[in-house]
Amino acid sequence: MMPAAAKRLTFVSLIAVWTLIFLGLGATAHADDVMDRVNSGKSIRIGFANEVPWAYPGDNQKPLGFVNAIALGVLETMGYNNIEPVVTDWGGLIPGLKANRFDIITGGMYILKSRCENVNFSEPIGVFGECFIVPKGNPKGIESYKDIKEKNAVIVTGAGYSTIENAKKEGVPEENIMTVPGNTEILAAVKAGRADAGGLTYFSALHLSKESGGAVEPTDPTKNPEWTFNWVGIGFRKADTEFLAAFNAALETYLGSEKMMKAVDAYGYSKSQLPGDTTTAHVCENR
Task: Please tell me whether residues 264 and 216 are part of one structural domain.
Answer: no
Task: Please tell me whether residues 198 and 155 are part of one structural domain.
Answer: yes
Give me the number of domains the chain comprises.
2
Task: Please tell me whether residues 47 and 183 are part of one structural domain.
Answer: no
Task: Please tell me whether residues 148 and 210 are part of one structural domain.
Answer: yes
| Residue numbers of the domain that contains 99 | 33-127+233-286
**What does each of the 287 residues of the chain score in pLDDT, given as a tens digit?**
444 444 443 433 433 434 434 334 443 444 588 998 888 999 999 999 998 899 999 999 999 999 999 999 999 999 999 999 999 999 999 999 999 999 999 989 999 999 999 999 999 999 998 899 999 999 999 999 999 999 999 999 999 898 999 999 999 999 999 999 999 999 999 999 999 999 998 889 989 999 999 999 999 998 999 888 989 999 999 999 999 999 999 999 999 999 999 999 999 898 989 999 999 999 999 98
CATH code (residue 108): 3.40.190.10
Please report whether residue 22 resides in a domain.
Answer: no
Rounded to two decimals, the pTM is 0.73
Q: Helix/strand/coil (H, E, C) string of the chain?
A: CCCHHHHHHHHHHHHHHHHHHHHHHHHHHCCCHHHHHHHCCCCEEEEECCECCCEEECHHHCEECHHHHHHHHHHHHHCCCCEEEEECCHHHHHHHHHCCCCCEEEEEEECCHHHHCCCEECCCCEEECEEEEEECCCCCCCCCHHHHHHCCCCEEEECCCHHHHHHHHCCCCHHHEEEECCHHHHHHHHHCCCCCEEEEEHHHHHHHHHHCCCCEEECCHHHCCHHHCEEEEEEECCCCHHHHHHHHHHHHHHCCCHHHHHHHHHHCCCHHHCCCCCCHHHHHHHC
Please report whether residue 23 resides in a domain.
Answer: no
